[in-house]
Chain A
Amino acid sequence: MIKKRQNLRILPCLLLVACAEEAPPPMDEAQLAYQKQLQEQLIRAQPGEVITVPAGVHPINRGLSLNVSGVTLRGEGMDKSVLSFKGQLQGAEGLLVNASDFTIEDLAIEDTAGDGLKINEGKNIIIRRVRTEWTNGPDEKNGAYGIYPVQVENLLLEESVAIGASDAGLYVGQSQNVVVRYNRAERNVAGIEIENTFSADVYGNVATENTGGILVFNMPDLPQPGHSTRVFQNEVTTNNTDNFGAAGTPVASIPAGSGIVINSNDRVEIFDNDIAYNHTANIIISSYFATGYQGTREMAADYDPYPETIYVYGNRFSGGGSSPDGLDLKALKVAMFGVSGSFPDVLWDGYANPDNLDAAGNLAADHAICIDNGDAEVLNVDLPNGSDNIVVGAAQHRCQHDKLPAVVLAAPLH
């Protein structure tokens, strides 16, 4: 028996350990040899070195990592060179990179236990034609993030594919000077997520069949707040997959059927996108209060929970808001728009910083949520007042902001 002072909850865990490890995945000598060879190459790498991953499916059962700057890891194609982590025994990610001047291209990372590719702190990062995928499709047991650069500066993430992540497929966190373009994110909880990041351009991507297509978020307590993100010329369609993320994660609050979601972020520009058939709403603009994580304790003094200076224009909307996720939203939709009706294209939770209101009680011009997008309307669900005064509006949001400058990647990433 287990010692007396342990609590009973430990018991199932121990059993679970035994079960999980009853059948370690078979790895033959050659497979083990390749894993060892690749990790040794990563350890011994010198700046300027190119490490190649040959075509083929390479089983890997422990986390790989790179700590040397100036290295390129290159496969023969994201459908040819596959690092398969099915049954991974160890490592919170498939490949962890703690280095700068790093390029990874033309390979796939499949079925990791945790995150697929994590890059933690670094400058001048190129991720190109990399696929991260959980091959069983959406499943709450999948790893959290597909491609996960965090605290990086000068990042080009392009032509990559992320499928099946139980949090975000492509996630850029706490970073600056970022271009995310021509990628495809499908069947993740969040397709593409930009969090606590400033100066990011997200364009030419396809986000489809996720729970939420493209997210621009700000979370409290982190080293840097995010702002200044442009989301344009993307195709954000049919993101209606049931939310399969673990409760407690920031994305768990995303209703299925969300196209583009801004949460607590400022200076976000959404334009020239095709946004269609996202059943809750094509665009959602919300505050930290709408996530339900606030609790009773005081928020960090330096955290701004309100989405402000938002500019939505020139997008092509169709078919959103017809079947929102969640009983409250469903009931609201039927009550206001009828069984066959739909929410407007933009949903706003209604939270506005009381310090930034004008005499009429609307957000002052500098901070306004501007929806200048043809006849697109805004549903203010008035969460601050318990949804007592839900209104559909357009006129008070018909405004413009100065446009954000394009992100210019610094040398050597032109």
Chain B
Amino acid sequence: MRSIRYLPLLLVLGACEQTQRDVELFPADQPPALLSEWGVLAARDDQLVLQKDVIPYELNTPLFSDYALKLRTVWMPDGAAASYRAEQEFDFPVGTIISKTFHYRKAADWRAANASVVHASQDDAETGVPPLNLDDQMLLETRLLVRYAEGWQAFPYVWNAEQTDATLEIAGDFRQLTLQKDDASLQVNYVVPDVNQCSGCHTPDHSAGDLRPLGPRAWQLNREYSWWQDADSQLTHWAATGLLQDMAVPPETAPDSLQDRARAYLDANCAHCHNPAGAADTSALNLNIDAPLDRKFGICKTPVAVGRGSGDLTYDIYPGKPVESIMVFRMQHTDPAIAMPELGRGLVHAEGVALVSEWIATLAGEC
């Protein structure tokens, strides 16, 4: 059964003669210093390739990360499968390794003196199908989430200048980038999160305090992906190849209406903290994709401990008035005292601001 999913990989790899090595699981307290030791990803012959049984996937509504591209993969031990859950992320088996590699398309003069020059990407699905061509792509970091019996652990790896391997950096890192976006050049201090910052987002239940994957949920994965070489949903393929068990009827399709897209965006970018059990439940703002559209969603909600994040405005979402909405104000800033989300971006996501603004503009009513 499982062998079906090797087919497209072999087709893509084509003439590549290299054999794939097996993934290796390391104990939670003994992560290897080099990413390659896990045997999930390898950089060789100017390509970033997936190792044996490593499956890439895409999301409908990814988190914004300074216009980076992201290659996402999952690996599960032989014979193990994730259990379908309608509301939450899937329940992955012990031994699962999820990886996310952040990369940018190189600009012509990409090796500048002080900062790498790269292109902004509007849609991280532009990552496309692995392997990644390292003549075109600059690798920044690969984050691993590994499922142990005690729970998930996060390991941030930073790619070296030679682009041959990545090194574990539990305290994170900075990279100076010049980002070419349309006709503009943006300077960004790209931040690789430290291990604690990983859990800053990946702990959607702040009281429980356990790390969890955020992306692999039914509504996020329910899309076609050219790696599978047909128009079926990734979920269909995951179920057919034994990666996913107990699948119910998956949610309809990708978010489509303006409101659906805005709410999906707010869920993906905000709800890991802004949910009723999240780190930001102190603010009483709940941006879960299924939360009611009421004051706790921000509609006519006054802030609590916002500081100058208020932007001299009174309401988080002022129906019909994006310019008078604190939510939009905070999305438009990069000052750490103002910016939302607090982690994971050093730039304004102009397209995200536009989406949320357009949606707020359609809302009716007075505060």
Which A residues lie within 8 Å of B296 (CB)?
A: 221
- CB <8 Å contact, B333 and A144: no
B233 adjacent to chain A (CB < 8 Å): no
Tell whether B26 is near chain A: CB-to-CB under 8 Å.
Answer: no
Interface: A361 (CB within 8 A): no
Docked-complex contact A89 and B302, CB < 8 angstroms: no
Contact of B184 among A2, A40, A145, A293 (CB under 8 A): A2
Please state if A89 and B336 are interface contacts (CB–CB under 8 Å).
Answer: yes
Assembly CA distance A21 to B203 (angstroms): 30
A1 lies within 8 A of chain B by Cβ: yes
Q: How many Å lie between the Cα of A16 and that of B209 in the bound state?
A: 36
Residue of B nearest to A11 (CB): B350
With known contacts A13-B333, A39-B172, A144-B305, A18–B186 Cβ distance under 8 A: yes
**B259 at the binding interface (Cβ < 8 Å):** no
Contact B353 A293 (CB under 8 A): no
Given contacts A10-B348, A43-B195, A293-B302, contact A91 B295 (CB under 8 A): no
Q: Which of A67, A219, A246 contacts B304 (CB 8 A)?
A: A219
* A6-B350, A10-B353, A63-B336 as given contacts; A140 in contact with B191, CB under 8 Å: no
Tell whether, in the assembled complex, residue A6 and residue B305 are in contact, meaning their CB atoms are under 8 Å apart: no
Q: Does A371 contact B (CB under 8 A)?
A: no
B86 CB contacts on chain A under 8 angstroms: none
**A14-B348, A91-B342 known; A297 vs B209 contact (CB < 8 Å):** no
Report whether A249 and B186 are in contact in the complex, using a CB–CB cutoff of 8 Å.
no
- Assess whether A148 is interfacial by the CB under 8 Å rule: yes
B206 sits at the interface (CB 8 A)? yes
Assign chain B's interface to a size class: 35 or more
Any chain A CB within 8 A of the CB of B335? Answer: yes
The complex places the Cα of A90 from the Cα of B332 at a distance, in Å, of 16
Interface pick from B43-51, B135-143, B309-317: B309-317
> How many A residues face the partner with a CB closer than 8 A?
71
- Return chain A residues, CB-CB under 8 Å to B293: none
Give the segment of B53-61, B71-79, B245-253, B279-287 that binds chain A.
B279-287
Docked complex: A143-169 residues within 8 A CB-CB of B: 143-145, 148, 150-151, 166-167
Q: Indicate if the CB atoms of A166 and B282 lie closer than 8 Å.
A: no
A92 proximity list for chain B (CB < 8 A): 336-337, 339, 342
CA distance A41 to B301 in the complex (A): 39
Q: Does B171 contact A (CB under 8 A)?
A: yes
Please tell me if the beta carbons of A247 and B313 are within 8 angstroms of each other in the complex. Answer: yes
Can you add 18 more A-B contacts, CB < 8 Å, to A36-B171, A219-B302? A6-B351, A7-B322, A10-B348, A14-B184, A14-B348, A24-B189, A40-B170, A90-B191, A92-B339, A140-B308, A173-B305, A221-B284, A221-B304, A245-B308, A246-B312, A248-B302, A248-B313, A249-B303
By beta carbon, the residue of chain A nearest B323 is A9
Q: Which residues of A from 39 to 85 have beta carbons under 8 Å from B?
A: 39-40, 42-44, 62-63, 65-67
- Check if A353 is an interface residue, CB within 8 A of chain B: no
B311:A248 contact, CB within 8 angstroms: yes
Contact of B336 among A35, A113, A121 (CB under 8 A): A113
Contact of B334 among A9, A20, A222 (CB under 8 A): A20
**B197 close to chain A: CB less than 8 A:** yes
Question: In this assembly, does A5 line the interface, its C-beta being within 8 Å of a C-beta of chain B?
Answer: yes
Q: Quick check: is B174 within 8 A (CB to CB) of the other chain? A: yes
Within B347-367, the residues touching A (CB, 8 Å) are 347-348, 350-351, 353-354, 357, 366-367
Within 8 A of B (CB), among A127-149: 140-141, 143-145, 148
Residue A114 interfacial (CB < 8 Å): yes
For the complex, what is the distance from the CA of A370 to the CA of B196, rounded to whole Å?
48
User: Which B residues between 267 and 300 are near A, CB-CB below 8 angstroms?
Assistant: 279, 281-282, 284, 295-296, 300
Residues 193-213 of chain B, each 1 if its beta carbon lies under 8 Å from chain A, else 0: 011110110010011010000
**Given the known A-B contacts A121-B207, A248-B326, are A18 and B187 also in contact in the complex, defined by CB atoms under 8 Å?**
yes
CB contacts between A and B, total, < 8 Å: 202
Does any Cβ of A come within 8 Å of B306's Cβ? Answer: yes
A-B contact pairs, 7 of them (CB 8 A): A39-B196, A67-B199, A114-B336, A121-B279, A143-B337, A144-B309, A247-B312
In contact, A88 and B336 (Cβ under 8 angstroms):
yes
A29: CB under 8 A from chain B? no
Indicate whether B183 reaches chain A with its CB closer than 8 angstroms: yes
Report whether over half of chain B's contact residues are helix, strand or loop; otherwise say mixed. loop
CB nearest neighbor in B for A292 = B314
CB of B182 within 8 A of CB of A22, answer: no
Instruction: Give CA–CA (A236, B260) in the complex, Å.
Output: 51
Tell whether, in the assembled complex, residue B284 and residue A249 are in contact, meaning their CB atoms are under 8 Å apart.
Answer: no
* Chain A hits for B350, CB < 8 A: 2-3, 6, 10, 14
**CB-based contact B354/A113 at 8 Å:** no
A296: CB under 8 A from chain B? yes
Question: Nearest chain B CB to A215's CB is how many angstroms away?
Answer: 13
> Known contacts being A248-B326, A300-B295, is A21 close to B187, with CB within 8 Å?
yes
**Chain A residues, CB < 8 A from B214:** none
For window 81-116 of chain B, which residues contact chain A by CB distance below 8 Å?
A: none
The reply to whether B354 and A6 form a contact with Cβ atoms under 8 Å apart is: yes
User: Which listed residue (A43, A91, A114, A246) contacts B170, Cβ 8 A?
Assistant: A43
Q: Tell me the minimal C-beta distance from B267 to chain A in angstroms.
A: 20
Residues in A neighbouring B14, C-beta threshold 8 A: none
**Closest residue to A221 on the B side, CB-wise?**
B284
Q: Which residue of A lies closest to B280 (CB)?
A: A120
Give the complex CA separation of A252 and B309 in angstroms: 13
- Report whether B282 and A40 are in contact in the complex, using a CB–CB cutoff of 8 Å: no
B334 cross-chain contacts in A, Cβ below 8 A = 13, 16-17, 20
Give the shortest distance, in Å, between B225 (CB) and chain A (any CB): 26
Give the residues in chain B near A296, CB-CB below 8 Å. Answer: 366-367
B279: shortest Cβ distance to chain A, in Å? 6
B358 to chain A, nearest CB (A): 8
Q: Would you list which residues of chain A between 193 and 228 have a CB under 8 Å from chain B?
A: 219-223
Q: Given A9-B332, A65-B200, are A17 and B305 neighbors across the interface (CB < 8 Å)?
A: no
Whether a CB of chain B sits under 8 angstroms from the CB of A314 is: no
Contact call B295/A113, Cβ cutoff below 8 A: no
Asked, given contacts A24-B189, A249-B303, whether A98 binds B206 with beta carbons under 8 Å apart, the answer is: yes
Contact (A246, B307) CB under 8 Å given A3-B350, A6-B353: yes
- Write the nearest CB–CB distance from A170 to chain B, whole angstroms: 13
Chain A residues, Cβ within 8 Å of B312: 246-248
Is A221 a contact of B308 with CB atoms below 8 Å? no
Q: Contact: A10 with B300, CB < 8 Å?
A: no
A143 B307 Cβ-Cβ under 8 A: yes
